[in-house]
Amino acid sequence: MSTRLSSGVVHTVPPDLRAALLADPEARAKWESLTPLARNEWICWTISVKKPETRQQHVARVCSQLKEGDRRPCCWPGCPHR
């Protein structure tokens, strides 16, 4: 299996999110079906938190929410970097 993972428009996939997506084939397939802008939103949502424990929760939620069919983070104003 390839370790290539598509990134966002502005952001690249951070190592912790990358590892989680590569470890979960279903979440990875959903990730690859997203647009670059949608992937950018997930990455920014994950890296925008301050506490390491919150970031771990966000990484886990990216995988679970993708598998539930979510295409973007819910209730988040969006990436300010675009």
Task: Give the pLDDT confidence of 51-74 residue by residue, as tens digits.
Answer: 999 999 999 999 999 999 999 998
pTM of the model as a whole? 0.91
Q: Is position 19 within any domain?
A: yes
DSSP 3-state percent helix, strand, coil across the chain (nearest 5) = 55, 0, 45
Q: Is residue 45 part of a domain?
A: yes
Mean residue pLDDT across the chain: 93
pLDDT tens string, the chain, 82 residues long: the values are 578 999 999 999 999 999 999 999 999 999 999 999 999 999 999 999 999 999 999 999 999 999 999 999 988 788 887 6
Number of domains within the chain: 1
**Domain extent for 32:** 15-67
Domain for residue 63, yes or no? yes
Report if residue 28 sits inside a domain: yes
Q: Does residue 81 fall inside a structural domain?
A: no
CA dihedral 41, 27, 12, 45 (to 10 degrees): 30
